[in-house]
Copies of this chain bind each other. A is one copy, B any other.
């Protein structure tokens, strides 16, 4: 573990006194090449991933064979199929590196052990999930409310670094656009 995760934990639960080593020992690190896949649809999902560096996305392949991104994660974000991870079920999603990345991962069993040994960690994940849950509902609102063009401009205003960083075809599926249409919008925004 580097200090990125430890600092993130301290930011959310500043009064907890958990030794660095007690957390470190629960995690493993993986370096990922661009497009390297962590888990594929149909596999049992028993790990959650914390992005130390880089960018990952979770996608599924729709009935027409098109990849559709449902989550992005950049530095200090968690990514997994949270339901499958909870129940250690098979996942419907692929999780893949968008760029060269470094992740820490924890298995469900080790997470449960960590909760048992350091119950303060419940407070960290309660907050991570609280924000993720609230943001996911807000995203459903955007999908329902805005035209495809408005979704893009809203997203571009909120997360400008994302728009410059993530390959266009991935961003397009995340926003429910075709790459061609997104390209037209980007031209308009950044010209």
Residues of A within 8 A of B (CB): 58, 60, 62-63, 68, 70-71, 81-86, 92-93, 115, 119-120, 122-123, 125-127, 129-141, 143-145, 176
Tell me whether A68 and B145 are in contact (CB under 8 A): yes
Chain B's closest residue to A135 (CB) is B83
Given contacts A85-B134, A125-B130, 12 further A-B contacts (CB under 8 A): A62-B144, A63-B145, A82-B130, A83-B137, A92-B138, A93-B141, A122-B123, A129-B132, A133-B133, A133-B136, A136-B137, A140-B140
Q: How far is the CA of A127 from the CA of B137 in the complex (A)?
A: 17
A83–B126 touching, CB < 8 Å? no
* Beta-carbon nearest neighbor of A123 in chain B: B122
Min Cβ gap A105→B in Å is: 17
* Residues of B contacting A82 in the complex (Cβ-Cβ under 8 angstroms): 130, 133-134, 137
A71 and B119 in contact (CB under 8 A), knowing A126-B129, A129-B129, A130-B125? Answer: no
